[in-house]
Amino acid sequence: LQESERMNLLVFEMGRSLRELDAGLRGDLSISQPMEDLMNALFENRVPSTWEALAWPSLAPLSPWLADFLDRQRQLVEWTADLNTPKVTWISGLFNPQAFLTAVMQVTARKNEWPLDRVVTTVDVTKRGPEEIEGAVREGAYIYGMYMDGARWDVNSGVIEDANMKELYPKLPVMLVKAVPVEKADSRDQYACPVYKTQFRGPTYVFTAGLKTKKPPSKWVMAGVSLLMSVVE
C-alpha cells in the first residue's frame, strides 16, 4: 500500500508539471521559474528536482531513470492485480526495501511466535535467475536486483571471489531472505556485506547480508565490497 501511494504521488507530480509546462509553451500560462527548471532538466537529460524529491535515490540520468520508473510501476501493477504473494520480488524496484525486509521478519516472527526484537534476517544466494523461480517460498521471500561492487559471486562454488577484469558490477542470482532467531544465526565463514541503494553508499544503506566466503572476511572489508541495488556505469 505504501509503495503504491508513493508511486501515485510521483505519477501525479510528473503529470501535473508536464501539463503545466505544456500550457506555458503554448502561451496559455506565463513561464514560471519551476517551469523553466523543468524545461532545462528535460533538455539536459536530468531528473527534475520536483520528481527527484518524490522518487527513490538514484544517480542515473533521465533516460534510464524513466525506464526504471516504468519497470517499478509495472511491478506494482502486477502486485495489485491479484494481491497474491509474488514468486520473486525485484527489491531494487521498491521505494522502501527496508519495509519489505521488516515485513518478512514480522510475518515469520508472528507465525512462529518469536519476539520480533530477537529476530534477524539471513540470506542464501541461489543459483537461479528470477525467471527460473517457479513459486513463492513458504517462509521468507525470493528477491533479486543486486549488483556486487569490488568482487563477484561465484555461482558454482557459492562464495565471494575476486572480481573479473572489466566486470565492474556483476549481477547476483536470486537471493532467499529469511528471518531466524538471533541465537540461530550462523555467521561462520561469512562476510557481513553492506547493501546500499546506489553507488553513493552512505545514506542509502539498506541492510547487511551475510555472504559465504572461503577467504578471510577482512579481505572483503579492505576491498570495500558491497551490494548495490542500482548502478550507473
pLDDT in tens, the chain (233 residues): 789 999 999 999 999 999 999 999 999 999 999 999 999 999 999 999 999 999 999 999 999 999 999 999 999 998 888 777 789 999 999 999 999 999 999 999 999 999 998 999 999 999 999 999 998 898 899 999 999 999 999 999 999 999 999 899 999 999 999 999 998 888 889 999 999 999 999 899 999 999 999 999 999 999 999 999 999 98
- Return the pLDDT at 36: 96
Whole-Å CA distances, 55 to 5, 21, 59, 92, 216: 12, 20, 12, 13, 38
Cell numbers linked to 171: 549481477
C-alpha radius of gyration, the chain, whole number: 20
- Return the pLDDT at 56: 96
Whole-Å CA distances, 206 to 2, 53, 82, 84, 194: 17, 19, 28, 25, 8
> Cβ contacts of residue 148 below 8 Å, gap of 6+?
160, 163, 169, 170, 171, 172, 225, 226, 227, 228
- Return the pLDDT at 49: 97
What is the distance between the alpha carbons of residues 104 and 121, in angstroms, rounded to a whole number?
8
- Return the pLDDT at 187: 83
What is the distance between the alpha carbons of residues 175 and 189, in angstroms, rounded to a whole number?
18
Q: What are phi and psi of 195, to 5 degrees?
A: -115, 130
Whole-Å CA distances, 97 to 26, 102, 183, 207: 41, 9, 25, 9
- Return the pLDDT at 184: 87
Burial of 46 (0-12, 13-18, 19+ CB in 10 A): middle
